[in-house]
Amino acid sequence: MVNENHQRVLHSSCNPTESRRFFKRGQLKIQQMAFMLIGVTLLFVFVGIFFLAINLYDVQKTATSLEEDNALSLVSKLANSPEFSCGNSFGSSRSNCIDFDKLIILQGLSSKYQNFWGITKIQIRKIYPEDETICTEENYPDCGIINLLDKKVNSTAFTSNFVSLCRKDLSESAIYDKCELALLMVASEDSG
């Protein structure tokens, strides 16, 4: 076989037409192999991209699910954190009680507290008596919705918890505790 090739080489070196045909066949083989190489590489790249996409989708799903879990577990405890909780200001210690005065102050500090709780939105909505007015320093306390945090990112649906919203009020020169029913709503980032 090798000798045959040698003979062909020697023969073709003498005959120009034969020699051109032999090199053309060689070129064709090289082209075939180049195409084959490109094909194999592309196949691997596509398979790789496919697996990476699946992997990435899974990671994104897990991230969103963990963020949701975070929001869910946080909403039941957020009312007890020092920035929100009533403490002992309204008589005895109350669980799930939010200090309305602190909220309105906190609203002005939203840039400082932007990343503090690891969630994207916090809204407190008075549900009884219902009031659709958005709270500002000017209309406080005659309002019903406080947007404490509102990051402009993709967010999941709100998770909520019932709380009592308390503040001190004045009635005929007597100070009393005024508590209303409210909904504490939080949303987390949607990575998907």
Q: Which is nearer to other proteins, 62 or 139 (CB)?
A: 62
Position 70, amino acid: N
CA 70/CA 106 separation, integer angstroms:
21
Exactly one of 82, 129, 132, 152 binds other proteins (CB under 8 A); that residue is 82
Whether the bond into 16 is cis, omega within 30 of 0? no
Q: Which is nearer to other proteins, 132 or 175 (CB)?
A: 175
In the complex, what is the shortest distance from the CB of residue 132 to other proteins, in angstroms, rounded to a whole number?
23
Position 104, amino acid: I
Q: Which is nearer to other proteins, 55 or 133 (CB)?
A: 55
CA 58/CA 160 separation, integer angstroms:
27
DSSP H or E stretch at residue 125: strand 121-128
CA 84/CA 102 separation, integer angstroms:
6
CA 109/CA 51 separation, integer angstroms:
44
In the complex, what is the shortest distance from the CB of residue 106 to other proteins, in angstroms, rounded to a whole number?
7
**Does residue number 138 form part of the binding site for other proteins (CB under 8 A)?**
no
Exactly one of 21, 23, 37, 54 binds other proteins (CB under 8 A); that residue is 37
**Does residue number 8 form part of the binding site for other proteins (CB under 8 A)?**
no
Q: What is the CA radius of gyration of the chain?
A: 36
Give the binding site for other proteins (CB under 8 A): 2, 5-6, 9-10, 29-30, 33, 36-37, 40, 44, 48, 55, 59, 62-63, 66, 69-70, 73-74, 76-78, 80-83, 85, 87-89, 93, 95-96, 99, 101-102, 104-106, 109, 112, 115-118, 168-170, 173, 175
